[in-house]
Amino acid sequence: MYNITFQQIEAFFSVARYRNLSNAADAMFVSQPALSKTLQRFEEGVGLKMFYRSNQGVSLTPEGEYLFSTLEPLYNNIEKTIATAHRISEVPPKTLNIIEPTTFDTNEDFEMIKNFIRQYEEENPNVVLVESLGDFKDIRRSLEYYNDDVAVIQEFGLIDMEGITYKRVSAYQLYLVTASDHKLSAHENYVDIDRELLAQEIHYRVPSTGEENDRKLTVERCRHMGYEPRDIKFVDNFLTLLHKIKTKKGVAICGKFTLGPASDDLNYLPLIDFDGTSNVVLAWKSGRLSREAKKLVEIVPGEEISL
Domain 6-90 has CATH 1.10.10.10: yes
Residue type, 77: N
Question: pLDDT (tens digit, 9 = 90+) per residue, 217-274?
Answer: 889 888 888 889 999 999 888 878 888 888 889 999 888 887 555 566 888 888 887 8
Topology annotation, domain 97-166+284-306: D-Maltodextrin-Binding Protein; domain 2 (3.40.190)
Q: How confident is the model at residue 181 (pLDDT cuts 50, 70, 90)?
A: confident
pLDDT at 58: 85
Please give the sequence-ordered ranges of beta strands (E in DSSP) within 91-217, or none if there are none.
95-101, 128-134, 150-154, 164-171, 175-179, 202-205
Query: Could you tell me how many helices (H) and strands (E) the chain has, helices first?
Result: 10, 13
- Mean pLDDT computed over 197-214: 88
The sheet that has 266-270: what strands, in order across it?
231-234, 202-205, 251-254, 175-179, 266-270
Asked if residues 119 and 129 have their Cβ atoms less than 8 Å apart, the reply is no
Q: Given the DSSP bridges, would you call strands 128-134 and 57-60 parallel, antiparallel or unpaired? A: unpaired
Q: How far apart are CA 14 and CA 4, in angstroms?
A: 16
pLDDT at 26: 87
Q: How far apart are CA 171 and CA 149, in angstroms?
A: 23
- Mean pLDDT computed over 110-132: 92
Domain 175-270 has CATH 3.40.190.10: yes
Q: Do 97-166+284-306 and 175-270 agree at the fold level?
A: yes
Distance in angstroms between the alpha carbons of the first and the last residue of the chain: 68
pLDDT at 143: 93
Asked if residues 45 and 4 have their Cβ atoms less than 8 Å apart, the reply is yes
Q: How far apart are CA 153 and CA 230, in angstroms?
A: 28
Query: Looking at per-residue confidence, does 140 or 77 come out higher?
Result: 140
Q: How far apart are CA 107 and CA 90, in angstroms?
A: 40
pTM > 0.75: no
- Give the domain ranges of the chain: 6-90, 97-166+284-306, 175-270
Partner residues linked to 101 by β-bridges: 134
**Mean pLDDT, rounded, of the chain:** 86
Asked if residues 107 and 258 have their Cβ atoms less than 8 Å apart, the reply is yes
Q: How far apart are CA 230 and CA 200, in angstroms?
A: 5
Q: Which residues, 6+ apart, have CB-to-CB distance to 240 below 8 Å?
A: none
Is residue 193 scored above 90 in pLDDT? no
pLDDT at 91: 59
